[in-house]
Each structure stands twice: as C-alpha cells, then as structure tokens.
Structure 1
Amino acid sequence: MNYPDWLKPYVLGAASGAALAMVVGFTWGGWMTGSDARQMSKTMSHDNVIAALVPICVAKANADSSREAKLETIRDTSRYQQREALMDAGWATMPGTEIPNRDLAQACFDALEPGL
C-alpha cells in the first residue's frame, strides 16, 4: 500500500507527541496506573480507619482502672518496645476482635505520649 509523502510527518508528529505527553503526564502530571491508585486507596483507607479508632483506644486507656500501673509499665519499657507494652495493656484491642492491632497501638501510643 502506498501512502502519500505528506502523511509521514503527521504520523511521526502524532506518535512523538503522544509519547511526550505520556512521559510528562506520568512524571510531572500526577498520572498513575491502576495498581498504584489501588495501593494508594488501600493505604489511605487503612490510615483513616486507624485515625478513627484512636479516640476509642484513648478512651479505653482513660477508663481503665489500672491505667496508672499500665502507664508506668509502658514508661519503664524501652522505647522500641513501648508499642508492645501498650498492646499488652489491652487498649489496642478493639471490641469484637481478639488480638490487638499494631498500627492502632502505635497511633494510640503517639496520642498518649504527651501524657507519658
């Protein structure tokens, strides 16, 4: 099949323009693939759920009758094990679950930390 000579520059221009648009869009334009968008939405929803549960964890800590003893235990624990100590206190275990949530324990610890 014979194509006219004037068609070649238009086809090359369109192809290079499309390639340039994709490079610019993905690097600086904020475009992303579907898998990146799914991962971002999972992360955001997880963070939002944890943020919503922190007040419950803090309320459980404030309502605990042995709060001071548990806070003393958490204070006496080394810095990198304080999250585990908070999990052992039971404040990061939400109603309806049997095991504490590590991310919630860290967020709850950060919320309680000014009082520690």
Structure 2
Amino acid sequence: MTAPEWMKPASYGAVLGAIALAVIGFTAGGWMTAKAADEMASAKARSEVLAALVPICVVQSEQDPQMQETMANMKAARTYERDDMLMKAGWATMPGSAEPNRAVASACMDRLAKTF
C-alpha cells in the first residue's frame, strides 16, 4: 500500500510542529521537568523554614545575658568567623535540637549584622 503524496509534507509538518511545541513550551512556556519542579519546591521550602527560624535565633540572642560581649567579639572578628561564634553562643541551636544549624546561623548573622 502506498501513501498519498500529501502525506509526506504533512508528516514533516507534524514532526517539526511537535519539536517546536516542545522547545517553545520548555523555554518560554514555563514548562519544566518533574526533577526541576522538585528542586524548586525544595529550595523554596528550605528558604521558608529558614525565614521562620531566624526570628527564634534573634530572640535567643536577645535573651542571652552575654549578648553585648558576644556581639562586640563578633564585630571584632573576621566575617567568616562570625557564624561559628554565633553557633558557639548557642543562638543557632533551635529548641528541641542538640546541634546548631549552620544555615540558621548564617541567616541570623546577616540579620544581627544590621544592628552593629
């Protein structure tokens, strides 16, 4: 059985149209793969959790009787040492946790740095 003559250009058009649709959809149309969507959702969740934990760190720093001394030491320290100092002070250790959280310490230090 032979295909009609018009079938060949229609087949090429359908294939090229499908490719164009996929390219446009993934670049300008906002489509994404499941992996990319999972990565974006995980990043957003981490960001939101961090935003919720930073105020706890700030309150813990305000309740520390040695806050002024610790803040003065942090101000005198190098920038890369400050997160470790904040973690040693215990401000980045969240209630119910035994270990300080480095991401919370870094974000908290950014917030506290605005005060000194």
Shorter chain as denominator, the TM-score bin is over 0.9
Q: Which residue of 2 aligns with 1:95?
A: 95
- Structure 1 runs (4+) deviating above 4 angstroms are none
Matches within 5 A, 1:62-81: 62-81=62-81
The one-character-per-residue Cα deviations of 1:1-45 (angstroms, maximum 9, x if unpaired) are 422221221121111011011112222222211101101100110
Alignment partners' CA distance in 1, 2:100 and 2:17: 53
The one-character-per-residue Cα deviations of 1:31-83 (angstroms, maximum 9, x if unpaired) are 21110110110011001000011111111111111111111121121111111
Alignment partners' CA distance in 1, 2:2 and 2:105: 70
- Unaligned runs of 5+ residues in structure 1 are none
Alignment partners' CA distance in 2, 1:27 and 1:106: 34
Alignment partners' CA distance in 2, 1:26 and 1:89: 47
Matches within 5 A, 1:26-65: 26-65=26-65
**Residue 105 of structure 1 pairs with residue 105 of structure 2:** yes
Alignment partners' CA distance in 2, 1:8 and 1:75: 74
Q: Which residue of 2 aligns with 1:20?
A: 20
Q: CA RMSD in A?
A: 1.1
How many residues in Structure 1 have an aligned counterpart in Structure 2? 116
Q: TM-score, normalised by structure 1?
A: 0.93
3-state secondary structure, aligned to 1:93? coil
Alignment partners' CA distance in 2, 1:40 and 1:19: 25
- Unaligned runs of 5+ residues in structure 2 are none
Percent identity for Structure 1 against Structure 2: 42
Alignment partners' CA distance in 2, 1:111 and 1:94: 16
